[in-house]
Structure 1
């Protein structure tokens, strides 16, 4: 019995030493943080801020490599085909892990097999926002207006299959509204048309509409979260206005290629945790209405599986697809 325990411990030590050696082998190389969106966006700024902070915390050099296009598929394929030696990480999000497996008939990667979760790091609250031309100041007034004016109840999103689009589809399902989807190439043009009154409303992430919220150019009727937002406590939740348990949000976390040693994953997770606790990162998140959201690798993997199941059901039922 003691011999078996000794051998088990010896094998575990050898495995751990091998993983540590792999991490050490890559330690002289900078870590490439692959980001699937263009330079200059909010999520790009977060990746760069975290890369800077993690580099300082871990004594490693990080650099952000933007590979936009294909609804994150270009970046995802690049990482899926990368060598798992501990010097590449990837911004994994709703698109890559929850929506694309259902939106596309053929993907250049397998979201369940090609990546390993290293930890969540951001939650993007979603708000119900309406044009100033819509005569509503709360959820009930908006629903009354939308039911009386179905031809005008058109909603904007940042793209087909985006978190904003699917949040609105969930809203449609829960309210029974007749509403028309108007898809844009990104959040900025959607917000521009919303302010102009070309579309009536949207379920948009708070980080995209912060300037318009602060100046009153858009009316915010509610937040799709269980609790009110810490930085905007005056905005009521949709739940407290009668849409019980309605919750939708965008999110991001860190992925690594499948086969990356667990010691490397754990080291990255610890660096991520340390970065999210720094005041500079906390303040940065607060300024753009994004919530720090840390998890262990296993917690992220479990969360992603749930999101995949939840939103996949809506995509299939609505017949939403991309080519």
Structure 2
């Protein structure tokens, strides 16, 4: 149960973290990690350019919303808010149909260009549940940028091509993005253009993965494969059933000595799932390490949080 008395802690944490953000996009409160009692269903993201986006994932008592609104009004008169250049607060109700979004302070932009690690991404506000960039993957994108030089990269379930942008910025020779949502790939193309990238280095394949192995293989072999699937996508992907189908294809896709980043963001799936699946389906790929998650995504149980696992092909 969300506790209005706990919102004092919410504003204390947001105040402290927003000071360190500058104009970079960051999660500034992560109640979903269950580290803040009474605030388990609320998050807050600083998007830069003066915009704070708060999300509530489960309907709370009316008193909670009233205390939240009063707290926002007070916060927006603080020096911290003014020094950060704050202008807008939006509240997204993730528990309501269409992820209804309301503007509490200022005017909500329909789109906003955000900056992460010096790179620019375009986000949508108020249109859909996910705005175009998963902030908990910040260190994953940073790892790709630091490890992509002169590599051929395959980005599966590419969404809006965040990994691709990081890879090209890290001087990858070629990146192939595959996602069945062509609209997401179109946004990925925009993201590359926002960063003045050469699109001749980037391919966008708007296909369903399991019907497109021939197209994917044609661009290979690859030095780095990134697998970041949804936990469940109706009619196309069920993580516990279909992940193995991808892993079995890796020997045909990855060069010897090549790398794989295998990701899972389902709280009920343990890191051992990926270790065991890889050992069974592609035993020539050896586990190297699990990447850290951003510290702002603190979680009472690290095994429930995002899992980004690095494997390397031996031989």
The answer to which structure, 1 or 2, has the higher relative contact order (CA under 8 A, 6+ apart) is 1
TM-score relative to the length of structure 1: 0.29
Higher-strand-fraction structure = 2
**Whose Rg is larger?**
1
TM-score relative to the length of structure 2: 0.29
